[in-house]
Amino acid sequence: MEHGSYSDQSKSTFSLTDEDHTFANSVRFTLNQDPRVTFCGYSIPHPSENRVNVRVQTTGDPACEVLKDSCQDLMLMCQHVRSTFGKAVNEFKAIKNVDDMDMN
């Protein structure tokens, strides 16, 4: 859910349900890296409510688009982490197999 104004779309608060620090803090990081963002932060209004508010202010672009781009960035980063990790594990296993064979 987005709380903003129609006249100025560059500032908005996004209320995300069923999310917590895990997602909000990661997306805060990617938002901060975006040069279009002048301010971003998140808060959890109440600990027993499954909800987090993400505030985004930009230099002019619609906040919604910037947040979407940041999510996209985060997703691509995750994909890269996953493929790099997979490669590293496979390499490690291959080396270990060779070592095991040497021992036998």
Partner 1 sequence: MSSSDEEQEQKKNGNGGGILDFIMNLEDVPSKLSPHLELIKTRVVCSIDAPQHTDTINYSGAYAALGVDNSVRLDSFCQNFKVEVKKLTDDDIEFDMIGIDPSLANAFRRILIAEVPTMAIERVYIANNTSIIQDEVLSHRLGLIPINADPTLFEYPDNAGGENNEKNTIVFKLHVRCEKGQPRITVKSDELKWLPNGSDLIADDTKPNAGSKPKTFTSFSCSQDSLPEFSKKPLGPTNPDIILAKLGPGQEIELEVHAVKGVGKTHAKWSPVATAWYRMLPEVVLTEDVTDELADELVTKCPVNVFDIEDIGKGRKRATVVKPRACTLCRECIRGGKEWEDRVSLRRVKDHFIFTIESTGAIPPEVLFTQAVKILEDKCERVITELS
Q: Would you give the binding string for partner 1 spanning residues 61-80, x where CB under 8 A is met?
A: ---x--xx--xxxxxxxxxx
Checking phi first, is residue 60 left (phi over 0); if not, alpha (psi -120 to 50) or beta?
left
Mask for 25-44, x = binds partner 1 (CB under 8 A) = xxxxx--xxxx-x-------
3-state SS, residue 98: helix
Closest CA to 64 of 103, 19, 31, 17: 31
- How many of the chain's residues bind partner 1 (CB under 8 A)? 42
49: helix, coil or strand?
coil
Contact call for residue 3 and partner 1 (CB under 8 A): no
56 interacts with partner 1 by CB under 8 A: no
Cα separation, 4 vs 14, in Å, equals 8
Interface ranges with partner 1 (CB under 8 A): 2, 14, 16, 19, 21-23, 25-29, 32-35, 37, 64, 67-68, 71-82, 84-89, 91-93, 96
